[in-house]
Amino acid sequence: MHEFGVAAAVLEAVEARAAGRPVAALRLHVGALQRLDRDVFDQAFALIGGGGVADGAHVEVVEVAVEVRCRDCDHHTVADELVTACGSCGAHDLELVHGDDLVLESITVAGRVAGGQEVR
Ligand SMILES: [Zn+2]
């Protein structure tokens, strides 16, 4: 199931950043194209992460809209589902900028937010 794969990948990233410290909360950026079922994800994360550093952590999911760039006119089109034509010129030669994202934005360890870099 998709959500289990996502949960396993997220947990791996969380564990790498937590370095053994208990994680109170984590914040994810998830692209709309991931079609993540939040209930299934929560169950999967609790199951896979149970007993580990992220056991019981509060998970916040920020959904990222789909964004494509037109290779013809460089226009960026934003939508909540897959875009197949440029919103400006109608061309179909599009590059996906956002939408399939799966990013661990931050984790909170012992009340402190650790961002992209380690907080000491
Ligand atoms: Zn265009």
| 44-94: pLDDT as tens digits | 999 999 999 999 999 999 999 999 999 999 999 999 999 999 999 999 999
- pTM for the model stands at 0.81
CA of 96 to the centre of ligand 1 (A): 13
- Structural domains of the chain sorted by starting position, each given as residue range(s) with its CATH number in brackets: 2-113 (3.30.2320.80)
CA of 30 to the centre of ligand 1 (A): 26
Residue 115 pLDDT greater than 50, yes or no = yes
Determine the pLDDT at residue 14: 97
Determine the pLDDT at residue 119: 43
Mean pLDDT of the chain: 91
Across the range 28-39, mean pLDDT stands at: 94
CA of 79 to the centre of ligand 1 (A): 15
The DSSP result for 79-110, as a single string, is ESS---S-TTT----EEEEESS-EEEEEEEET
For residue 99, give both structure tokens: 């939408």
CA of 66 to the centre of ligand 1 (A): 16
CA of 62 to the centre of ligand 1 (A): 28
Predicted confidence band at 120 (pLDDT cuts at 50, 70, 90)? very low
Residues 76, 80, 81, CA angle at the centre, nearest 5°? 90
